[in-house]
C-alpha cells in the first residue's frame, strides 16, 4: 500500500528491513546502542561489525533521539539508530517519545541529504507498544513531516509479519481518508 504526500511517497510493505535498498534503514535500538534481539539483532548480524564499532564510539542515544552510522555490509548506506519508548501503560510520555523517535530519524536523514528511508515498527516488539496505537503515531508523524518538508522522496514502513502489516494498513487508510 502507498500514498503520495506533498513530494514524498509513503509505502507499507511486509518483509525484512535488512534487505532494503533505501539510503538508510532505521534500527529500533536501546539507549546504550548495545545491540539486542529483534530488528536490532538482525541489522547487526546482516551489516557486520563496522556498525557496532561506530555505535561504541557514539556511546548511546536517549529515548526519542536518533544517531547515524554506516550501513556496513547492508545495501543501505546508513543505519539510523533510534530508541523508542518502553510501553508502561501509556502514561509515561510514550506517545510523545515514539513520535519523536520517528521525527528525529527523519530530521537526521534530511540533514544527511538522504532521499529514502525504511522504518521498522519501532517499540512494538520487546518494548511492548500496542501495535494499533504505534501504527497511528508512526504514520501520522511521517505524513506531517512530508507535509512540512521536501527532500525525502520515499519513506517505507517495513512490517515483519502480516498482522502488523494489516494493522498499519488500517491506520494508514484512516489517516488518509
Q: Whole-angstrom Cα distance, residue 62 to residue 122? A: 15
For position 137 contacting ligand AR6 by CB under 6 A, the verdict is no
Other Cβ atoms within 10 Å of 176 Cβ, number: 12
Least Å from the CB of residue 42 to ligand AR6: 4
40 is catalytic: yes
Residues counted in the chain: 177
Nearer to ligand AR6, 19 or 176 (CB): 19
Least Å from the CB of residue 29 to ligand AR6: 6
Q: Whole-angstrom Cα distance, residue 36 to residue 94? A: 21
Quick one: CA dihedral 107, 108, 111, 113, positive or negative?
Answer: negative
- Which helix (H) or strand (E) covers residue 67, if one does? strand 66-70
157 to 176, contacts with ligand AR6 by CB under 6 A? Answer: 158, 160, 164
Nearer to ligand AR6, 40 or 104 (CB): 40
Residue 89-128 contact track with ligand AR6, rule CB under 6 A, x = bound: -------------------------------xxxxxxxx-
Least Å from the CB of residue 133 to ligand AR6: 13
Q: Whole-angstrom Cα distance, residue 81 to residue 33? A: 8
For position 76 contacting ligand AR6 by CB under 6 A, the verdict is no
Evaluate whether 106 touches 146 at the Cβ level (below 8 Å). no
Question: Which parts of this chain interact with ligand AR6 (CB under 6 A)?
Answer: 16-18, 28-30, 36-40, 42, 84, 120-127, 158, 160, 164
Show which residues are catalytic. 40
Amino acid at each position: 500500500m502507498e500514498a503520495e504526500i506533498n513530494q514524498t511517497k509513503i509505502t507499507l510493505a511486509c518483509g525484512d528491513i535488512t534487505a532494503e535498498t533505501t539510503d538508510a534503514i532505521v534500527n529500533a535500538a536501546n539507549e546504550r546502542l548495545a545491540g539486542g534481539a529483534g530488528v536490532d539483532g538482525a541489522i547487526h548480524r546482516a551489516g557486520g561489525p563496522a556498525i557496532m564499532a561506530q555505535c561504541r564510539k557514539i556511546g548511546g542515544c536517549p529515548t526519542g533521539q536518533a544517531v547515524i552510522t554506516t550501513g556496513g555490509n547492508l545495501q543501505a548506506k546508513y543505519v539510523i539508530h533510534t530508541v523508542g519508548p518502553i510501553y508502561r501503560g501509556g502514561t509515561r510520555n510514550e506517545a510523545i517519545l515514539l513520535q519523536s523517535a520517528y521525527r528525529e530519524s527523519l530530521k537526521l536523514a534530511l540533514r544527511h541529504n538522504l532521499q529514502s528511508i525504511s522504518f521498522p515498527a519501532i517499540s512494538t516488539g520487546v518494548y511492548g507498544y500496542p501495535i494499533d496505537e504505534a501504527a497511528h503515531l508512526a504514520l501520522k508523524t511521517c505524513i506531517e513531516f512530508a507535509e512540512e518538508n521536501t527532500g525525502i522522496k520515499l519513506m517505507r514502513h517495513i512490517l515483519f509479519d502480516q498482522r502488523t502489516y494489516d494493522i498499519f494498513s488500517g491506520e494508514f487508510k484512516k489517516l488518509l481518508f
